[in-house]
Structure 1
Amino acid sequence: MHILQNFRFIQVETAFFWQWWQDQTEETKEITRQLVNSGRLEIVNAAWSMNDEAAAHYHSIIDQFTWGLKRINDTLGKCGRPKIGWQIDPFGHSKEMASIFSQIGYEGVFFARLDYRDNEKRHINKDLELIWQGSSDLGNLSNIFTGVLYDFYTAPAYFCWDVLCGDRPVIDNEKSSDYNVDTVVMKQTTSFAKYGHKLNFENNLTPLKEVMGIMQHHDAITGTEKQHVVQDYVRLLTAAVNVAEEDIDSIILNILKKTDDADDVKIKFSSCLMANVSHCKESNLDRFTVVVYNPLSRYVNHYVRLPVNGDSYTIVGPDGNINYEILPTIADFSYVDSITPSKKELVFVAENLPPLGLKYFYIQKSKSTRKKYKTVKQTQFGNNNCGFTIDEVTGLLSSATLNGVTLEISQNFMFYNGANGTNKEETFRASGAYIFRPATTTPKALSLANSVTYTAYITDIVEEVHQVFNNWIRQIIRVYKNENYIEFDWLVGPIALINDLGVEVVTQFVTKRLSNGVFYTDSNGKQMVKRIRNFREMYTYTDEEPISGNYYPITSNIVLKDGGSDDCSPGKNLEIAILNDRAQGGSSLEDGQMELMVHRRLLNDDAFGVGEPLNEIEFNKGVVVRGQHYLTFGQKNSCSKNSVKTAATNRRDIAQRKLLSPWVFVGDATSNKHTLENLQAKLNFEFSGLVNVLPNNVQILTLEPWTENKLLLRLEHIFSKDEDNVLSQPATVNIRNLFTLFNVVNIEEMSLAAHMPKAEIEKMPWNSVIPETLSRKFRSADLNIHIMPMEIRTFIVEVVAKTRNLV
């Protein structure tokens, strides 16, 4: 034991630490604190997990760091606060992650994995250490010292100081004759419940916080885990969601009740977790209620789609009767056992959902007959402002119209055969969970269908075309009234083998626009990064992998821009974007083209560690995947007038509404107590959490319980400085009387992860050519919060409940 007294150790992932900590005696806990206080046990990273950087969204990254660091603070105190990000195992690294580390208050970040060509060049040039500016918008607020591990996970030669190594020690005392250094070196509603109605449901959120942290792990969200681990993730996540929803009905009731005797109308609410396979038990009842909660800080419209078995309904909302439609589902989902999928969907729009608020709807089957949707043979859908056309012969998309501008664009599902591989040598590895490697037989993606069968439906709310590509690919192209995007709702699987090889399916959008080899992808759903095909800025690109070598992580959207023209006439200088609802790999392999990987089935393990092929099973057959893409386009900022939305404005708007989509809860209203008249007498059918709507460029990113009378509040500016002439300007929010159920009486600015006051962040000064920008102090007496483009500001706010008078 005395030998270990001279050693220091690090602890990285808080989920493992917390699991261990809970089983220890008080004596062991005190020893651990002593080790931390003496510097012999150092906490690094300290997020709940070492998250993936490519596929994780910045919302989720910040949340899981907040939760991990809160546990460290609560158990180990100030000496446990980490100063280093330790990301040695994720499969690549993002500038947004570097920015997050810096804003948390860390001194540096270290990682191991990077492109082998970049690694070789950095070794030769001796620049494995650098100052990384994570965000050009934030300047030095995002700067962080970054170090690449010298020899992957192994200590560099002569630097192994393990007890089993014989390397000579480093002597840094210049007076010593042996001196040798020179040669060696989710959460808002629970807040309303707690401070609006003296209810405390924080413990309901804890399992979901922990599981969502685990889901961001670089072997979870990426899919580089075994099948049985995937199934365990589903089990954990389902259980956590169920716990989080246990008291949602009490929260909703207390927010909406307008009489003291409203408790007797209590309805059990839940979200329909299997709605994607057209199943929701509550929405098949004769009477049910729907609550639609809006987590955004502004009014939004949301199109509610629920599986139903009826043909005629009456829907009553806060403003009276609501128009609706009944449409067929994308598939019958008959393969899903243990449930009875519905063959129809009820569609209605929840209009003007209030900020951080909700609307309540009462839905009842009706005996009256109503005019059903009509099927048509037309090829044009929508209107002159927002619509699309399909080719009369092929049934495939041929053009789209947004904001009065028509763009020729096609869309199809394509495939690559996955390389089989013969051994573990790098040049012969198979395509698998870790790597995307097309077989030489498909150097370019091939079409899965040159024509499709389709059925078109026209309603007052939405117009949609149901396409069938083959017996395992279906898609619905939709245009909602008064929207600024075209939706692609796709269903892929179980994948059939082609050419006796594994199959990797992509959706491909093709235009005639010249993009000059340039495209843009998001960094963790926040910043946009310029990509140049077959090029790397930091090293010489070689094309051993001509397809996957040009693939990048797409967490939120991929963008093409018209190249080489300053013409701002209508239809010119467009930015074209595909937004996705989950992280996917994607690229622009030819000018005017964008593709996103949607599903994979492979027959061989790639020998990188999973130990099984990517050939997953669900419901006793190959996995079926369902998702959505959204097409939007508009002119660049340089072409837009102040009164016209830029392409970037549309992208940010859609991404906010889809990634922070309203949460739909459904409840059984068949009890005699749950008549419409009784509910209207005792409940308000609408609630807003904010007194005032925030500016269009500011969003409340976080609002959650923190301690007894305090909340965690984060405000973010959602635009970059060059995206919009108006919305890219700095913004100011006054939070003094912002919330409807409580007042803010005191405020303290914190690090991004809220684990320490911002005033206590101290960083070493680094020699750097990156220009410095001044950070701004915040005075707690001033409740006007100023926020710069792309900035996130984090506060602990002390609140007191407002008096609420019931009828």
Structure 2
Amino acid sequence: MEVTAQYFNTFNIFGEVVGQRVTRHRYKVRKKSISDVTQVYVVPFTHADPGWLKTFDNYVSDTNAILDNMVVFMRDHPKMRFMWCEIAFLERWWTMQNESVKSSTRKLIKNKQLEIVSGSWVMTDEATTYFPSIVDNIIEGQQFVYNKLNVEAKVMWSNDPFGYGPSVPFLFAKSGVSRGVINRIHNDLKAFFRMHGALSFRWRQYFDADGQNDMYTHILPYGHYDILNSCGPNAELCCQYDFKRLNHFKCLGKGPEPVRRSNIRASALQLEKQFLKMSLEEGSNILLSVWGDDFRYDKLEEWHQQYDNLILLFDYINMNSKRTKISCKAIFFCMFGTLTEYFDALERNDRARNLIPATLSGDFFPYQCSSGDYWTGYYTTRPFYKRQERELHSFIRAADLLSTNAFTRLSTKKRQIIQQQLTIARRNLALFQHHDAITGTSKNHVMKDYSQRMFASIKIAENVLRISLKALLSLNNFEIDNIPLMYNASSSKKIITTDKPRTILIYNNEPYGRMEKIELQVSNRNVAVFGTDGPIEAQIEPYFDVISGQFTENFLLVFQTFINALSFTHCTIQSNHFVAAEIARILTPMKSLRVLKHISKHFPVVTISKDEFALQTSKIFVKLNAKNGLLEAINLNVATNGAERLRCKQKFSYYDSTLSGAYVMALENEKLKELEMNDAETFIVSGSLHQTVYTLSELIKQRLTVSNISGEDEGRLHMQLNVDIRRLSGAELIAKFETDVEPDDIEYYTDSNGLQLIKRAEYNTSNRPEMNYYPMPTALVLQDSSKRLSILSNLPHGVRTIGKRNFEIMLDRRLSTDDGKGLGFDDDGLPVDNLPVNMAFMFVLEKMVSAKHQKEEKQRRFAYHTLNAHLALHSLTYPPNIIITSGILKNPPLHRLQSFPCDVQLLTVRPLNSDINRRLMILHRAGIDCTSLSASTCRGNELDLALKKYMRAIGVRTVQKTLLNGIREEASKEVNFQLATFFLKPTDFAAYLIRFH
């Protein structure tokens, strides 16, 4: 009787295997009893990328052929098995089929020949995605599968993403998926797990001590997911069993032969030996062998080639394995199977042998393939599209929430239109979560197609907002601000003429009240802002156009306002010479600036000393370099937080003449060149509401801003960058920051899909900086014994630390070499289609409770955001929606909903295709670090009370608790929302089907 239980932590394993630390943990090696019967489950599959070398649409004919052949072949071959993952392709095929084919497909699923795995719209990337978009991706696919095929996915299949985090398995677990298969992890880590017989384990969240959301996970044992890497450790021998190569592809060595009576014994013995080696390496007598590759089984011929030959080998092995007694009495039983059949057998075996699987926590970044390349470049590749995706998500969410507010005022026809339009937009957003889309690792024309889809979806979301606003407020003549004009252009502000009064409606799409700074582009500097209680303090500045990277003839109007949770506030702007907004001053340490010749016509210019060249509020003091305007240090104000200073010296540099590609980063420290910024023009625009230092150079336009407004924003440093590296070649641009924290005292974290913070380490990389790069989808956090710096971002980046105390954030990459991963060296393959991109960061510096003696904290491999950092990220990701109307509204909206708890995120209230009168509401409660000494001004209410008031306001009648995917739990009943009790613990989700009156 065997009992084995051990715990793996990927942070420690990376340190030992990759970082080559001297001190090693002692792990048990699980040994297999060779006398056991070894069951081999061969799972046929195809890997179908929804966009890569061809666009999604151009791949559809390939996947249609695969699915057509699947139905034809499997109806007549009941022993055959197949699994399908990409629901985006399945939906396209399904809509073209007649009822006979649909019925046959359902029967294949019922007979357990065909398994739908994952069920998500696409197989998501895990480094650069944001978790609300991942949730939408899961819901969109799993809802389709449930509604059309009456089945729920139970296994996650993720064979191709370039590294893995813990958040995606957690989200699948919350959707009822408790098993998973992954593949691309660091080559040395895969060898470690093979050596310890631990390729199968329970993947546990750091914050889930009880393991309630564990995913039983299996790692494919070798370098790739193709047949060459699936029958055993010898790829040359395994190639002989890829029977499509009988007449299509070649093997490096001997190729396959049709199985005949004359060769079946030798062929079976050779295959058994490979299975035996795999079994011994895995320490298991239950084996998974996946049988496929990219876009396989597209011809009926291959279905016959694989099945007809393998079934002969399986039958021979199953009948003769006892007699042949290959190597130490090993006995094999082989069959076609599904992932569910494999895991069922694995768990039966665990129970029979009283074996407790290992538990693992952590993630698998970075990914290094067997050739030694580090796939860390795609964290940053093509940042324009990464930013476009985040914007689309924000617009769809706003359209969801506003159309929910308007739901009871919408006709059935309007509800149908909104449902149909948001489905199109949401599916395009989900499509871009694909691991060759948001990663920026497709051909140039494919990336353009994704971008055009996202732009069209932004316009769809805009239209839904218009329908909703008309229903809610009876508006007819209005504009929505910050909508891009073209697919390849950034969002821009509307020009507001003040020849007549304009009402500005501001919608807070967050479930808590917040004080927000509002910025508008106006044509006249003599304007005033009026609220319900009279004039509102406002400021006029030069208007910097983010698209052209230049100042224009228009002006930036800035003011602050408080917005209640999920509600509108409004104000009026109009020409007024008596109570006009304050005119900002231009402060410069330089006597002559080219840019000032234009803006000095309207703004006073004041020459200041270098020591005065700084930004300051009552909470922070930001020291600047007077020569170029770059950041030097951040000081917490003594009066409010006690003396605390962080040196944070900024510079821009680039790695020159790199050998990197779209996927891979290949850097050399000596090729890092500092970007000359001394010729940049720099000056401060200063007023009573906020101050901004501009740094204007050819490649980079930077704005650093602090705000003198009440609330959280007063303690934040905003950084906005306009980056355009189109004149560079073979270059990777970084922002580098040098700090003065104690290197032996610092803890360093990046986020996993915006859902949790994962501790990172820095290793001695022998002049290979790419080995220390980690994904930064939304956040980088550095903390020592007394302070924490949180850097939040509105798009994904790659990041690394240098000497523990310094760090660099990759901003953009323009590459002139192919990394050999499939895109090619032609004009369409090299990622040289860069576009100017606007990106934003927020720096939140906080004094923390001293952690010098908190050993537990230093030993933890994860962290939570402080509430201030959590709110800053949401302010960056979900800015208020601004609507510009003509004239003064006679009946402005006066909603006053109660705030949810400030740590509760309302992901969405989204339509479902299954029922037009129901929507799915999803909530998430963040884990919060409560050791910050910087108090938050956010004030929330008890969740049950606030949520019921919101439901009453939007016209909800009943609720039903569901899984995260909106598929109901049988034990849960639909009840009047007033009778429900709403509770949500930190780090958890809650999903409810809501029905309206």
Distance 2:96 2:917 in 1: 30
| Pairing partner for 1:783 from 974, 980, 990 | 980
Deviation of residue 660 (structure 1)?
2.4
Three-state SS of the structure 2 residue aligned to 1:153 is coil
Task: Name the % identity.
Answer: 21
Deviations 1:527-576 (A, max 9, x none): 11111111xxxxxxx736631111111111111111xx5xxxxxxx1111
Q: How does 1:535-550 map to 2 (within 5 A)?
A: 543=765, 546-550=768-772
| Pairing partner for 1:63 from 136, 143, 163 | 136
Distance 1:127 1:459 in 2: 61
Distance 2:496 2:987 in 1: 40
Three-state SS of the structure 1 residue aligned to 2:907 is strand
Distance 1:701 1:794 in 2: 10
Q: 1:232 aligned to 2:444?
A: no
Deviation of residue 88 (structure 1)?
0.9
RMSD: 3.5
Q: How does 1:453-464 map to 2 (within 5 A)?
A: 453-464=681-692
Name the amino acid aligned to 1:363: I
Q: What residue is the counterpart of 2:622 in the other structure?
A: 388
Distance 1:6 1:214 in 2: 33
Change (3 A) 1:666 1:116: farther
Change (3 A) 1:196 1:639: farther
Q: How does 1:188-227 map to 2 (within 5 A)?
A: 188-198=401-411, 200=415, 201-227=418-444
Change (3 A) 1:111 1:375: same
Name the amino acid aligned to 1:156: C
Name the amino acid aligned to 2:647: I
| Pairing partner for 1:471 from 695, 698, 706 | 698
Distance 1:144 1:173 in 2: 35
Is the Cα–Cα contact under 8 Å of residues 279 and 307 in structure 1 kept in the other structure?
A: no
Q: What residue is the counterpart of 2:528 in the other structure?
A: 314
Q: What residue is the counterpart of 1:299 in the other structure?
A: 513
Q: 1:153 aligned to 2:225?
A: yes
Q: What residue is the counterpart of 1:105 in the other structure?
A: 176
Distance 1:178 1:788 in 2: 58
Name the amino acid aligned to 1:267: N
Change (3 A) 1:271 1:41: farther
Change (3 A) 1:97 1:631: same
Q: What residue is the counterpart of 1:425 in the other structure?
A: none
Three-state SS of the structure 1 residue aligned to 2:788 is strand
Q: 1:74 aligned to 2:147?
A: yes
Is the Cα–Cα contact under 8 Å of residues 183 and 219 in structure 2 kept in the other structure?
A: yes
Change (3 A) 1:666 1:387: farther
Distance 2:546 2:877 in 1: 27
Distance 1:574 1:407 in 2: 9
| Pairing partner for 1:657 from 854, 875, 892 | 875
Q: What residue is the counterpart of 1:523 in the other structure?
A: 752
Q: How does 1:726-737 map to 2 (within 5 A)?
A: 732-734=943-945, 735-737=947-949
Q: What residue is the counterpart of 1:434 in the other structure?
A: 663
Distance 1:365 1:26 in 2: 65
Three-state SS of the structure 2 residue aligned to 1:63 is helix
Distance 1:630 1:589 in 2: 21
Q: 1:89 aligned to 2:160?
A: yes
Distance 1:721 1:174 in 2: 62
Deviation of residue 330 (structure 1)?
4.1
Name the amino acid aligned to 2:652: M
Deviation of residue 732 (structure 1)?
4.9
Change (3 A) 1:632 1:362: same
Q: What residue is the counterpart of 1:409 in the other structure?
A: 647
| Pairing partner for 2:761 from 521, 524, 532 | 532
Is the Cα–Cα contact under 8 Å of residues 701 and 723 in structure 2 kept in the other structure?
A: yes
Change (3 A) 1:710 1:393: closer
Which structure is higher in helix share? Answer: 2
Name the amino acid aligned to 2:584: Y
Q: What residue is the counterpart of 1:771 in the other structure?
A: none
Is the Cα–Cα contact under 8 Å of residues 697 and 731 in structure 1 kept in the other structure?
A: no
Q: What residue is the counterpart of 1:792 in the other structure?
A: 989
Q: 1:608 aligned to 2:826?
A: no
Deviations 1:417-454 (A, max 9, x none): 2555xxxxxxxxx2011012114632x56354367531
Is the Cα–Cα contact under 8 Å of residues 295 and 357 in structure 1 kept in the other structure?
A: yes
Q: 1:752 aligned to 2:958?
A: no
**TM-score normalized by structure 1?**
0.81
Change (3 A) 1:476 1:411: farther
Deviation of residue 624 (structure 1)?
1.5
Distance 2:209 2:982 in 1: 16
Distance 2:94 2:490 in 1: 40
Q: What residue is the counterpart of 2:189 in the other structure?
A: 118
Q: What residue is the counterpart of 1:507 in the other structure?
A: 735
Distance 1:94 1:575 in 2: 24
Q: What residue is the counterpart of 2:847 in the other structure?
A: 635
| Stretch deviating more after TM superposition (197-206 or 628-637) | 197-206
Name the amino acid aligned to 2:449: D
Deviations 1:725-783 (A, max 9, x none): 999x99752444433534544332211222242759xxxxxxxxxxxxxxxxx999852
**TM-score normalized by structure 2?**
0.67
Q: 1:349 aligned to 2:559?
A: yes
Three-state SS of the structure 2 residue aligned to 1:362 is strand
| Pairing partner for 2:782 from 544, 557, 560 | 560
Is the Cα–Cα contact under 8 Å of residues 137 and 721 in structure 1 kept in the other structure?
A: no
Distance 1:136 1:312 in 2: 54
Name the amino acid aligned to 1:348: V
Three-state SS of the structure 2 residue aligned to 1:297 is coil
Distance 1:439 1:596 in 2: 16
Larger Rg: 2
| Pairing partner for 1:699 from 885, 899, 905 | 905
Q: What residue is the counterpart of 1:770 in the other structure?
A: none
Q: What residue is the counterpart of 1:623 in the other structure?
A: 835
Deviation of residue 415 (structure 1)?
2.6
Three-state SS of the structure 2 residue aligned to 1:588 is strand
Q: What residue is the counterpart of 2:275 in the other structure?
A: none
Name the amino acid aligned to 1:549: M
Q: What residue is the counterpart of 1:36 in the other structure?
A: 109
Distance 2:872 2:185 in 1: 32
Q: What residue is the counterpart of 1:587 in the other structure?
A: 800
Distance 1:722 1:380 in 2: 31
Is the Cα–Cα contact under 8 Å of residues 317 and 685 in structure 1 kept in the other structure?
A: no
Name the amino acid aligned to 2:129: A
Distance 2:878 2:548 in 1: 31
Is the Cα–Cα contact under 8 Å of residues 628 and 678 in structure 2 kept in the other structure?
A: yes
Deviation of residue 289 (structure 1)?
4.2
Deviations 1:190-222 (A, max 9, x none): 111112555523223112111110121111111
Is the Cα–Cα contact under 8 Å of residues 637 and 648 in structure 1 kept in the other structure?
A: no
Deviation of residue 108 (structure 1)?
0.9
Q: 1:597 aligned to 2:810?
A: yes
Q: What residue is the counterpart of 2:341 in the other structure?
A: none
Name the amino acid aligned to 2:982: I
Distance 1:372 1:554 in 2: 38
Is the Cα–Cα contact under 8 Å of residues 308 and 342 in structure 1 kept in the other structure?
A: no
| Pairing partner for 2:953 from 741, 765, 779 | 741
Q: What residue is the counterpart of 2:207 in the other structure?
A: 136
Distance 1:371 1:190 in 2: 37
Deviation of residue 138 (structure 1)?
6.4
Is the Cα–Cα contact under 8 Å of residues 397 and 409 in structure 1 kept in the other structure?
A: no
Is the Cα–Cα contact under 8 Å of residues 413 and 448 in structure 1 kept in the other structure?
A: no
Distance 1:347 1:36 in 2: 60
Q: What residue is the counterpart of 1:375 in the other structure?
A: 586
Change (3 A) 1:29 1:386: same
Is the Cα–Cα contact under 8 Å of residues 788 and 848 in structure 2 kept in the other structure?
A: yes
Three-state SS of the structure 2 residue aligned to 1:310 is coil
Name the amino acid aligned to 1:410: C
Contiguous gaps of at least 5 residues in structure 1 = 257-262, 421-429, 535-541, 566-572, 641-645, 670-674, 761-777, 801-807
Distance 1:100 1:575 in 2: 28
Change (3 A) 1:105 1:31: same
| Pairing partner for 1:711 from 919, 927, 933 | 919
Name the amino acid aligned to 1:798: R
